[in-house]
Structure 1
Amino acid sequence: MTAHPPPPITYLASADVARVCAELPVVDLVRETLLAVRAGKAGLTPEAALRWTTPSGAFARSLILPGWAGDSYGCKIINASLGNQALGLPRAAGLIVLDDPETARPLCIMEGALISALRTAGVSLAAVGAVRDLAGIGRVAFLGCGRQAEVHLGLLAPGAPGLREVVLYDRDGARAEQAAATWAAARPGVTVAVADRPEEAVSRAGLTFAVTTTTEPYVELDWVPEGGTFVNVSLDDAAESLLLGCDHLFVDDWRLVAEDDHRLLGVLAGEGRVTAPGTRAPEGGRSVDAALPDLLAGAYRRQVGARDRVVINPFGMGVHDIAVAAAVHARAAALGLGTRLPH
C-alpha cells in the first residue's frame, strides 16, 4: 500500500468563524439537530470537566464536550474564568475540533466561543418558539448583560417583530447602563431600560433570559408573571420555588441534568425531588415535563396555556456545537477561508 502524507489541518480563526456564522440559520440548525438526536441521527457522550481556583481566587473550569451529528464528529473545549471580566477579557474562550469521519484524524480546528454562544442562544430560541408565538412577544428581560445576552437578542429580534421593549438588569449597574445605550443605538425602534432590581426586570417581561454567572439561585416563582417564560441559560438563577412550581418545565437532556451536582436542578434530581420526563412526580416534588427533542417534535401532549408559567432549563449539549461547526467548516471551505496547518 502506498503511503500518503496526512492532509493539513484547517484552522479557522475568530474572524473566519464570525464571517461564516453571520450567514448561518443557527436556530434552524439547532432545531434540526434536536430532532436528529430524537431520531438517533446525532448524539453525545458524557462530558469531562476540570475545575480549579485561579491564583487570584476566581473560579475557573474547562469543559470537553464530545458529540456527533450526521457524519460529523468532534468535540468542543470551552474554558471560562469568573475573574476574566476584571482583566478586561471575555469570560469564556474555547476551540472546536472536527474529526475526519473515516480516519478519525483532526480535520479542522476553529475558534469556539462564538459558536458556543450562538448554539446556546439557538437552543433558547428554538425552545421558546415551540411554546410561545415569537411574533407576539413585546417585552423581554435579560438578567446579565454580557455576550450571551447580546447573542440572544441578536437571534431573537428578527423573529420577534412586535418587540418594543428590552429590560436589563446586571449587578454591575454601570455595565447595564452601557449595554442599554449600545443596544438602543443599534435598535432605534426598541426601548431599552435598566431595572434597579432583578425582580423588577422579570416581573415586567413576558420572556426572561437569565445569562449570568451566579451560583446562588434567587428568581422566585412569584417574580414570573402569568403567561411568562423563563429561560434559565446560566448556572443557577432559578430558585427552587420556580423550578418546582412552574406549570411546565423543559430540559434539553435529562441525563446531563441528572448527572450534574452543581446546578440546582441536578441537585434536586439527586435528592429524588425532581424526576425524569414521563415518570411519576415524587411527593413534594415534580417530574420534568419533557426534553426539548420531544417538545420540538410535537410529542408533548399537554397544552401550554396563555397564563401558564414556563421554565426552559437547557444544560448545554455538545452535539449542537458539532452541528454548527460542521456547517461553518463546509461554508468556510467553499469560501477558501482558513489557515492550513501541517500535521
Structure 2
Amino acid sequence: MTRLLNEEQVKSLISVSEINEVVDKTFEGFGLGEIVNPTKVTLDLGETGNWPQNEGFMNAMPAYVDWLKVGGQKWVGGFAGKRKEMNLPYITALITLIDPELGTFTSVMEGSYISNMRTGSQAAVALKYLGKKDSITVGMFGAGIQARTATICIADLFDIDRLVVWNHRRSTAEQFKADMEPFVKGEIIIADPAHPEEATDNEALFTFTPAQEPFITKEMVKSGTIVFPMGSFEEVSEDVILSADKIIVDHVDQALHRGVLKPLTKAGKVTEDDIYCTLGELAANKVTLEDYSNERIICIPIGTGALDVAVAEVVRRRAVEQNIGTEFDFI
C-alpha cells in the first residue's frame, strides 16, 4: 500500500529543528559516500522562452539515502503564466518514495513544503559547517518563500543579530520584515531597492531572487564574508566567483553546470579543480576549514534530491506511526 499525504499533513509531522537534523545527517551521508544522487534532469516547458511556451519547467531529482534505507524522487518545478493568473504558488512539487529492495512505492506526498524548508535548512546547516558559532549577521536578497524558510531555519541554529533584507519591491520586503520578526533576535533592516550594497555588510549573504543579471559585485563583498548564491539563477557577478578564496558546493557535477558556475564552466574559467570541497566532506570531517576571516567564501548549495527524500521518509514513518494520511493500492 502507498501512503498519500497532503501539505497540511506533511507540515504537522515534522518540525524545523527536525528538518535541520535530517539535512545535517544527509550531508554527512554524502561525505561518507552513502548517498546516490544523480544530477537534476530539467524538462523545459517554456521557462527559457522556447517551445512549448508555458513559462515553466520541471526538475526530476532522484536519490537513494542509505542511512534511512530509502529511494525516491522529487518532481518539482516553477510556473508563471497561467498558473500565476490563477493565483497559484510559483512552485509545484510532488515526492515519491520507494522500498529500495522491492521497488514498491511506499508514499506519494505533496512536496512544496519539504522543498522550500530543506532549501532553507541546507543554508542554515552549511553555516554550521563553515564554523559560525551561536550568532550571525545576514544579508538577505529576495523576500519570497525561500528567503523566509532560510531565515526560519537559520534562526533555529543561530541567533540572528542583524538581518538586512533587499528586494526589488519594497512592499514585499516590508511584509517579510513583519513576518520574520518573531524569528530574528536582532533588528531587521530594509535596504533601499536601488542600493543592494546596503545589505552586503554582513557575515553571510544569501540570494533568493529570479534575477537573470548579476547585482552583487566584487566591490560589495568584504573579506570574511560567505556568499550563498542559492538556486539556478545568476545573481552575483563573475568577478565575485573568480576572486573567491574558496568555492564550496553541495554536489560538484551539478554545481558546475547550473546557476552561477554554469557560464564560467562553459567558458573554461572554472573547473572541478577550483572546488575547494563539498559540504558533505565538511559534515563528515574529511575536510576542515582554517581561519578564513580574511577570505571571501562562495558556498553554492544548488539543492539535491537526497535532502528531499530523506525529510520525506522521516515524514512517512511518522505518518505510519500516527496513522495519518490515506493508504492507496495502485495495483
User: What TM-score, normalized by structure 2, do the two folds share?
Assistant: 0.90
Pair 1:271 & 2:260 matched: no
Residue 57 of structure 1 deviates from its aligned partner by 6.6
Aligned to 1:99: 98
Equivalent pair of 1:145/1:168 in contact (CA under 8 Å): yes
| Structure 1 vs Structure 2 CA RMSD | 2.2
Range with bigger deviation, 87-96 or 67-76: 87-96
Pair 1:332 & 2:319 matched: yes
Aligned-residue sequence identity (percent) comes to 23
* Aligned residue runs from structure 1 range 177-326, under 5 A: 177-184=174-181, 186-187=182-183, 189-196=185-192, 197=194, 199-234=196-231, 235-258=233-256, 260=257, 263-276=259-272, 279=273, 287-301=274-288, 303-326=290-313
1:193 partner amino acid: I
Pair 1:171 & 2:168 matched: yes
Q: 1:69-98 CA deviation, whole Å, 9 max, x = no partner? A: 011011000011244556533221100000
The number of aligned residues is: 322
Equivalent pair of 1:30/1:119 in contact (CA under 8 Å): yes
* Aligned residue runs from structure 1 range 22-61, under 5 A: 22=15, 25-53=18-46, 59-61=55-57
User: What TM-score, normalized by structure 1, do the two folds share?
Assistant: 0.87
Gaps of 5+ in 1: 1-7, 280-286
Separation of aligned partners in 1, 2:162 and 2:41 = 40
Q: Give secondary structure in 1 for the equivalent of 2:100.
A: coil
Separation of aligned partners in 2, 1:265 and 1:333 = 41
CA spacing shift, 1:230–1:330, aligned 2, 3 Å: same
Aligned to 1:5: none
1:157 partner amino acid: A
Residue 302 of structure 1 deviates from its aligned partner by 5.1
Aligned to 2:155: 157
Residue 198 of structure 1 deviates from its aligned partner by 5.1
Equivalent pair of 1:82/1:213 in contact (CA under 8 Å): no
Q: 1:120-179 CA deviation, whole Å, 9 max, x = no partner? A: 222211211111324131x21211111111111111113223x23221111122111122
Equivalent pair of 1:218/1:237 in contact (CA under 8 Å): yes
1:45 partner amino acid: P
Q: 1:174-201 CA deviation, whole Å, 9 max, x = no partner? A: 11112222223x2474322210145334
Residue 20 of structure 1 deviates from its aligned partner by 1.3
Range with bigger deviation, 247-256 or 57-66: 57-66
Q: 1:37-68 CA deviation, whole Å, 9 max, x = no partner? A: 23222111243211122799773110111101
Q: Give secondary structure in 1 for the equivalent of 2:60.
A: strand
CA spacing shift, 1:85–1:236, aligned 2, 3 Å: farther
1:253 partner amino acid: H
Separation of aligned partners in 1, 2:30 and 2:141 = 30
Residue 264 of structure 1 deviates from its aligned partner by 3.2
Separation of aligned partners in 2, 1:342 and 1:106 = 10
Task: Return the index of the structure with the highest Cα Rg.
Answer: 1
